[in-house]
Amino acid sequence: MSLIVVGTMAFDAIETPFGKSDRIIGGSATYVAYAAANFVQPVQQISIVGNDFPEAEMAELRSRGVQLDGVEVVADKPSFFWSGRYHMDMNTRDTLVTDLNVLADFNPQVPDAFQGAEFLMLGNLMPKLQKQVIEQLKERPRLIVMDTMNFWMDIAMDDLKEVLGMVDVLLVNDGEARQLSGEFSLVKAARKIMAMGPQYLIIKKGEHGALLFHKDQVFFAPALPLEDVFDPTGAGDTFAGGFIGHIARTKDISFDNMKTAIIVGSAMASYCVEKFGPERLKEITKEDIERRLQQFQELVNFDIELV
């Protein structure tokens, strides 16, 4: 039940209408790993960091069953750094700083020990690098899940479309689904995007939940109504980590099990936003996760009484 995760490990600095963080740990693969490791071990991580990434953070990840053999450490450069400011709705944000640093030269290498993995999670990263990892795998994983973002649609759409043809599940948000398809209706957008390659499409709508499309089927997962969203950074990556973690644990890639996986992803994301960075993900226990999954069931459970 091995799982490879590819993506960034980085520093973020975040401003929200409610607070401001210092330089804190971030990165798509970091969030995916913290979320997925609750469900499956080992998590086989492929990423790159600079000379400033704390050894304590690496140790923390290792203690949770995250194998870091695929994480390149560059001695003479700092880690990738992103800074952004969220708007009042906490769904939209402006990027203030993007320092690629080590990411500019990232040339991901799959360690021999990672070969044969059943599941591959391509966290948000340059599409070209996502493709490079797929191509290094001697055996195709049973399920390849890809996360991406509008930034790559703006500057690397051709690369992105090439990777789309190689993956099974795509994760995007509603704005990105519209941008990628040119359709406003998400139902129409889903049909067009699935024609580009992925058999399954997950459209994340932040506080409005998420939709899973597959052929003519559709499933809707709510977001938990929260009193406060403290920091949405990493919520999408955490969602992806919960999703692939559940799939890898159960080894079941049916549509029905993907529904459950989306609820698991939503539950993990609902914890992520409660504190800055991945802090909250480090605190929660299996019991916390179970309790929240129960809340999701109560949130949507109804008796249908046909008229």
Q: Three-class SS of residue 50?
A: coil
Q: And the tokens for 270?
A: 């609902």
Query: Alpha carbon 34 to chain centroid distance?
Result: 11
First to last CA, the chain: 46
Given the complex with its own copies, which of 126 and 272 has the nearer CB atom? 272
Q: Which is nearer to its own copies, 12 or 231 (CB)?
A: 231
Closest contact distance (angstroms) between CB of 19 and its own copies is 15
Between the alpha carbon of residue 159 and those of residues 5, 110, 174, 302, the distances in Å are 20, 20, 21, 44
- Residue 144 Cβ vs its own copies, minimum distance, rounded to whole Å: 23
Minimum distance from residue 63 beta carbon to its own copies (Å): 19
Least separation in angstroms between CB 15 and its own copies:
17
State whether residue 52 is helix, strand or coil: coil
Alpha carbon 301 to its chain's center: 26
SS3 247: helix
**Dist. CA 35–CA 125, nearest whole Å:** 18
- Residue 38 is classified by DSSP as T
Q: Which is nearer to its own copies, 22 or 290 (CB)?
A: 290
For residue 292, the one-letter residue type is R
CB of 221 to its own copies, least distance (A): 8
Measured CA to CA in angstroms, residue 104 lies from 29, 155, 248 at distances of 17, 15, 31
The nearer residue to its own copies, 59 or 226, going by C-beta atoms, is: 226
Nearer to its own copies, 162 or 183 (CB): 183
Minimum CB separation from its own copies for residue 21, in Å? 20
Q: Name the minimum Å distance from CB 39 to its own copies.
A: 6
- Which residues bind to its own copies, rule: CB under 8 A? 38-39, 88, 184-188, 205, 208-209, 211, 218-222, 225-229, 246, 249-250, 256, 259-260, 262-264, 286, 289-290, 293-294, 296-307
- Residue 209: exposed, middle, or buried by beta-carbon count in 10 A (0-12, 13-18, 19+)? middle
Distance CA 47, CA 34 (A): 14
Nearer Cβ to its own copies (75/307): 307
The phi-psi region of residue 43 (left if phi > 0; otherwise alpha if psi is between -120 and 50; otherwise beta) is beta
Of 154 and 290, CB closest to its own copies: 290
Look up tokens 């069953």; give the residue. 65
Q: In the complex, what is the shortest distance from the CB of residue 176 to its own copies, in angstroms, rounded to a whole number?
A: 16
- Judged by CB, which is closer to its own copies: 112, or 305? 305
Task: Residue 54: count other Cβ atoms within 10 Å of its Cβ.
Answer: 12
